[in-house]
Amino acid sequence: MLSVTWLAIAAPLGSAAVLLLGGRRLDRWGHWLAVAASTTSAVVGVGVMADLLSRSDRAVQQHLFDWIPGGELEVSAGLLVDPLSVSFLLLVGVVGTLIHVYSVAYMEGDPRRRTFFAYLNLFVAAMLLLVLADSYLLLFVGWEGVGLASYLLIGFWNQNPPFASAANKAFVVNRIGDVGLVLALGLMFAHLGSVDFAGVFASAPTASEGVLTAIGLMLLLAACGKSAQFPLQSWLGDAMAGPTPVSALIHAATMVTAGVYLIVRSGPVYAGAPTALLLVAIVGAITLLFGAVVGMAKDDIKRVLAASTISQIGYMMLAAGLGPVGFAFAIFHLITHGFFKAGLFLGAGSVMHGMGDQVDMRRFGGLATLMKVTWVTMGLGWLAILGVPPFSGFWSKDRIIEVAFIGEGMKPWLLGGAALLGAGLTAYYMSRLFFMTFHGKGRWTEGQHPHEASALMTVPMIILAVGSAALGLIFAIGDSFVTWLEPVTGHVTHEDPVLAVPVIMTLTLVLVALGIGLAYRQYALLPVPETAPVASLAVQAARKDLYQDSVNSVLLEYPGQTLTRTLVFADAKVVDGAVNAVAAGTVGLGGLVRRLQAGRVRSYAAMMLVGVVVVLGIVILAINGKGWF
Amino acid sequence: MIPEDTVVDPMYFVVLATILFSIGAVAVLLRRNAIVALLGVELMLNASNLLFVAFARSHRDVSGQALAFFVMVVAAAEVVVGLALIITLFRSRQTISLDEPMDLRG
Amino acid sequence: MGEQELFWVMSPVIVLASLTLLFARKAVYVLAGMIVVMIGLAVFYVTLEAPFLGMIQVIVYTGAIMMLILFVLMLVGVDQKESLRETIRGQRWIALAAATGLVVLIVTTVYRIELPIRDIGGMNDGGNPQVIANALFGEWVLVMEILGLVLISAAVSAIVLTHLPRSGDRRSQAERAEERVRARLNPVNKPMPGVYARRNALDVPAIDPEGKPVPASISRVLKARKQDKDGSEWRAIGKDEAAE
């Protein structure tokens, strides 16, 4: 299967092209073509992994074609197949396929379903290109492809202006991150002389720390944009405007994981730039608390999940920022998170489907008996994200918390404390979501008849729930996943954290139990008001995403607008003014001359005669002056 | 043989021709009737013809007379075309006033 | 009479006649003045040892070109009087100033030259027409040929300019008669003017069988000029009634 790795990208890409160009005649069966294309990617992923497991050399670089044979800059398009990229290939393939299947039912009745599937395929293809590329330049192509596809999907219902502007927001914020990646590419070419992974990593150890730090910071900026990390996190909440399967895809498999991938993939660069690495960890820590705080206050089920994604990605960034010791756990958590977050989102979609597109959790409640499959699958996802043993979140998140406590001085206490606190907050807001939705009294609006979704939707949910439940355990047995990733992350000897591992684990579980208990008392036992009650300033701030949009407005939007207005004013008055003055002068002159051209033949004759006399006079004067007579 | 003192100084013909030419030019400029304007042009041509002939005699060269002859031929051609234009103008506008064809307005 | 006397007599006549161009309101008078100018110039040509040109001036210029212009003048309305009031502001002053400037410039310039006055004969040896013919078909033959082309193209262009293509098909006499009947017009031809057997002048209307005059028989041009007669003196009925 190794030789046909390219098929994993080509199949969804070709399918997207067929669906977009094929027109309405594909409306009837086009979505199944998309599902088949995505399945192809998943199957190729499984085959490639099997091939890779049977080899001793677990990093295969495949040359596809010469891409930019331009003098000093020679880039060839190639694929890098190693444990890291194959993990992503499998995650994207499997989760993507499940979401495809789910979407067949979810988008039924939408007149543009075929287009939707074309975009989904494009999304998958771009993400696979991103993770399989063997150079930063080719990765950038996939990076932009993901940005484009997410823009198209978030704004899929763009007849609704807020949805369209949400898509614009995602696109613009992503552009900021893209600038970072472009600058990183330029720095690599200028100082390391290469943009492919092999070349960059080979020359990275010899480069100066300043260069590597600059590259690392630029890569971090790029990762922040794509992974919705602080301070570029604002787009992810609004990205809920897209159909729910899109949210699942963005949050679980594609898009937001790209930033983590980029950091982990660039490990050799960060190895020479400890400052940049520390900043990665700090950004991760801030983001995980930020997301958790916002998640506690939101009433919109999808926005709670979005905040939770921001928070969980923060965990991954934190782990990635801890260096090689954390890389493997970042990816580990990424994979498990991919499964349980996809499951949670599909569950949320199922709830919305049953409740007539209602998203306000205060109008849910008591759905456990009516939507049993959704209840069970979301329950498994909930336990997984909480990190309750033996579900998968426990195996990945607890390891990150442990690793965060490794180090000297203040750093382990701050980072570890943040991670520990985040776990407790996560437990609270996810339990809040779960109890508000499925337990307590039904607070439905009139005319709502909650019902379970069709098998096409429930089967993917069940599969994902099984993954959420069991995947962590499978990967954690004998550290199999960490070993599998070793060719990429390198073998790291485990230092002991500043607190003993059992202590950390106990603390975590206590905090989680505390969160669950609080949420249960507040939202399952006590009645939940149907409208959000007046709350303290802190809660109000959290409800408004901790004023992220206002901060952006004050810091970026208003100065930008002022600058633009000034430039427009200068352009209109100075540049255009000069141009217009010239034009007006010409028009005025024309108006003067026009009076001579009044269409009167005799005036023309008079002008002619006057001209003859004047010329004659000049000639005679000239001759006299020359003394020719 | 004409005695020399009885010969008219060509200077006088120059003055006469200039006066006639100017009268013709002013007629073209001031008269609105197209035919009168055409006659003004004819007068200007004749004034130049007079000069040709006078200088031909003064220089004892018959070429001047030949050129005057050519001017007449050109004048005849010009009159033919001019009259054709006037008739066409009259047909389409029922007038031959030079101020009428304001379509030339720029 | 000597040459100089002739000049001083003829030149005022010519200038005065040419002034009709500026002051005569009727185009016909202008044309008459121009004819006088042409003939006066012909006289000068003869005295300036160019008798051939003098003849041409009278025969071709005055006799043909001026008559052609007169023809067209008749065609477009001999009666049109032109107002001498100037309509373009400043045009008169521009014209006068330019003309005066031209005269002053040329005269003052030429005045300083001394033109040769040689009258030693020999220019017209063998006869003026022969000498001119030699010049035209010798030295100037190329110009002669080209002017032939100019004349031909002028003739063709005049024909093209004045040619009116027929719009629609030619209608037969039967169709025209049918149209007249349909339009409730007189289906027969108009009667010729004049009272036959007594008088055949164009200004007297025809008399119908009842003895009444037929106004339509007189040309409308005569009516417009009020040169028609009512024909009462030639009316048979009128006389009979008078007798009774």
The interface pTM score, or ipTM, of the predicted complex is: 0.88
Residue of B98, B105, B106 with shortest CB distance to A602 = B98
Q: Compute the mean pLDDT over every residue in chain C, rounded to the nearest whole number.
A: 82
Å between B43 CA and nearest CA of chain C:
8
Asked if A599 lies within 8 A of B104 by C-beta distance, the reply is yes
CATH architecture under which domain C3-83 falls: Up-down Bundle (1.20)
- Do residues C218 and C189 make contact, with C-beta atoms less than 8 angstroms apart? no
Question: Which one is the CATH code of B10-97: 1.10.287.3510, 1.10.238.10, 3.30.930.10, 1.10.3720.10?
Answer: 1.10.287.3510
Confidence class of residue C233 from pLDDT cuts 50, 70 and 90?
Answer: low
Residues in chain A with CB shorter than 8 Å from the CB of B99 are 600-602
The pLDDT score that the predictor gives to residue A22 is 81
Residue of A601, A605, A606 with shortest CB distance to B104 = A601
Asked if A601 lies within 8 A of B102 by C-beta distance, the reply is no
Burial track A335-353 (b if 16+ CB lie within 10 A, e otherwise): bbbbbbbbbbbbbbbbbbb
- Do residues A306 and A428 make contact, with C-beta atoms less than 8 angstroms apart? no
Asked if B81 lies within 8 A of C56 by C-beta distance, the reply is no
What value, to the nearest 5°, has the Cα angle with vertex A601 and ends A595 and A605?
95
Q: In the predicted model, is pLDDT for residue A492 greater than 90? A: no
Residue ranges of chain A whose CB lies within 8 Å of a chain C CB: 600, 602-603, 606, 609-610, 612-613, 616-617, 620, 629
Residues A447, A356: Cα–Cα separation, whole Å: 9
The pLDDT score that the predictor gives to residue A269 is 85
Q: Is residue A165 part of a domain?
A: no
Candidate ranges A6-15, A198-207, A405-414, B94-103; pick with highest mean pLDDT: A6-15
The pLDDT score that the predictor gives to residue C242 is 45
Q: Compute the mean pLDDT over every residue in chain A, rounded to the nearest whole number.
A: 82
Q: In the predicted model, is pLDDT for residue A538 greater than 80? A: no
Mean pLDDT of C101-122: 78
The pLDDT score that the predictor gives to residue C15 is 94
Q: In the predicted model, is pLDDT for residue B20 greater than 90? A: yes
- Whether A510 and A629 map to the same domain: the answer is no
Residues A94, A46: Cα–Cα separation, whole Å: 9
The pLDDT score that the predictor gives to residue B47 is 95
- Whether A420 and A527 map to the same domain: the answer is yes
Number of domains in chain A: 3
- Do residues C172 and B95 make contact, with C-beta atoms less than 8 angstroms apart? no
Residue ranges in A233-300 assigned as alpha helix (H): 234-238, 244-248, 256-265, 267-271, 274-297
Can you tell me which residue has the tokens 């379509």? Answer: B103
- Whether A444 and A563 map to the same domain: the answer is no
The pLDDT score that the predictor gives to residue C124 is 77
- Whether A447 and A583 map to the same domain: the answer is no
Residues in chain A with CB shorter than 8 Å from the CB of C105 are 613, 616-617, 620
Q: Is residue A117 part of a domain?
A: no
Provide the domain limits for residue A618.
Answer: 598-629
**Tokens found for residue C218:** 């007189």
Mean pLDDT of C156-170: 84
Q: Is residue A234 part of a domain?
A: no
Q: In the predicted model, is pLDDT for residue A207 greater than 70? A: yes
User: Count of CB contacts below 8 A, B vs C?
Assistant: 231
Å between A613 CA and nearest CA of chain C:
6
Å between A610 CA and nearest CA of chain C:
6
- Whether A373 and A514 map to the same domain: the answer is yes
- Whether A619 and A477 map to the same domain: the answer is no
Q: Is residue A576 part of a domain?
A: yes
The pLDDT score that the predictor gives to residue C198 is 64
Q: In the predicted model, is pLDDT for residue B103 greater than 60? A: no
Residues A73, A189: Cα–Cα separation, whole Å: 8
- Top residue of C85, C87, C100, C102 to mutate, by most chain A CBs within 10 Å, is C102
Asked if A602 lies within 8 A of B106 by C-beta distance, the reply is no
- Do residues A225 and A218 make contact, with C-beta atoms less than 8 angstroms apart? no
Distance of CA A401 to the CA centre of its chain: 24
Asked if A606 lies within 8 A of B29 by C-beta distance, the reply is yes
Least confident of A60-69, A265-274, A571-580, C70-79: A60-69
The pLDDT score that the predictor gives to residue A629 is 47
Q: Which residue of C has its CA nearest to B94?
A: C76
Phi, psi of A196, deg, nearest 5: -90, 155
Confidence class of residue B74 from pLDDT cuts 50, 70 and 90?
Answer: very high
The DSSP symbol for A490 reads -
Å between C2 CA and nearest CA of chain B:
6
- Whether A452 and A375 map to the same domain: the answer is yes
* SS3 of residue A364 by DSSP: coil
Higher pLDDT, A532 or B81: B81
Q: In the predicted model, is pLDDT for residue C119 greater than 90? A: no
- Whether A502 and A577 map to the same domain: the answer is no
Higher pLDDT, A492 or B5: A492
- Give the global pTM: 0.59
Least confident of A65-69, A75-79, A360-364, A552-556: A552-556
Confidence class of residue B31 from pLDDT cuts 50, 70 and 90?
Answer: confident
Confidence class of residue B17 from pLDDT cuts 50, 70 and 90?
Answer: very high
3-state helix/strand/coil string of C87-103? CCCCHHHHHHHHHHHHH
Residues in chain B with CB shorter than 8 Å from the CB of C88 are 99
The full set of domain ranges for chain C reads: 3-83, 190-243
The pLDDT score that the predictor gives to residue C237 is 52
- Do residues B33 and C69 make contact, with C-beta atoms less than 8 angstroms apart? no
The pLDDT score that the predictor gives to residue B44 is 94
CB contacts under 8 A, C 162-181 vs A, are none
Q: In the predicted model, is pLDDT for residue C243 greater than 60? A: no
3-state helix/strand/coil string of chain C? CCHHHHHHHHHHHHHHHHHHHHHCCEHHHHHHHHHHHHHHHHHHHHHCCCHHHHHHHHHHHHHHHHHHHHHHHHHHHCCCECCCCCCCCCHHHHHHHHHHHHHHHHHHHHHCCCCCCCCCCCCCCCCHHHHHHHHHHHHCHHHHHHHHHHHHHHHHHHHHHHCCCCCCCCCCHHHHHHHHHHCCCCCCCCCCCCCCCCCCCCCCCEECCCCCEEHHHCCHHHHHCCCCCCCHHHCHHHHHHHHC
- Do residues C98 and C90 make contact, with C-beta atoms less than 8 angstroms apart? no
Strands (E), A478-618: none
CB-based burial label for C232 (10 Å; 0-12, 13-18, 19+): exposed
Residues in chain A with CB shorter than 8 Å from the CB of B33 are none
β partners of residue A135: A196
**Tokens found for residue A432:** 């809040």
- Give the model confidence (pLDDT) of C19-68 as tens digits: 999 988 888 899 999 999 999 999 999 988 889 999 999 998 899 999 99
DSSP per-residue codes, A78-118: EEEESHHHHHHHHHHHHHHHHHHHHHHHHTTT-TTHHHHHH
Pairing of β C206-207 and β A73-81:
unpaired
Q: Is residue A384 part of a domain?
A: yes
- Give the model confidence (pLDDT) of C167-194 as tens digits: 777 888 888 888 888 888 877 777 777 7
Residue ranges in A389-479 assigned as alpha helix (H): 392-404, 411-438, 455-476
- Whether A487 and A623 map to the same domain: the answer is no
The pLDDT score that the predictor gives to residue A77 is 81
Q: Is residue A491 part of a domain?
A: yes
**Tokens found for residue A560:** 């930008």
- Whether A485 and A535 map to the same domain: the answer is yes
The pLDDT score that the predictor gives to residue B101 is 56
- Do residues A461 and A389 make contact, with C-beta atoms less than 8 angstroms apart? no
- Do residues B96 and B34 make contact, with C-beta atoms less than 8 angstroms apart? yes
Residues A582, C11: Cα–Cα separation, whole Å: 58
- Do residues A483 and A83 make contact, with C-beta atoms less than 8 angstroms apart? no
The pLDDT score that the predictor gives to residue C88 is 76
Q: Which residue of C has its CA nearest to A620?
A: C109
Least confident of A249-263, B48-62, B84-98, C208-222: C208-222
The pLDDT score that the predictor gives to residue C40 is 94
The pLDDT score that the predictor gives to residue C244 is 44
Q: In the predicted model, is pLDDT for residue B68 greater than 90? A: yes
Mean pLDDT of A267-277: 85
- Whether A474 and A424 map to the same domain: the answer is yes
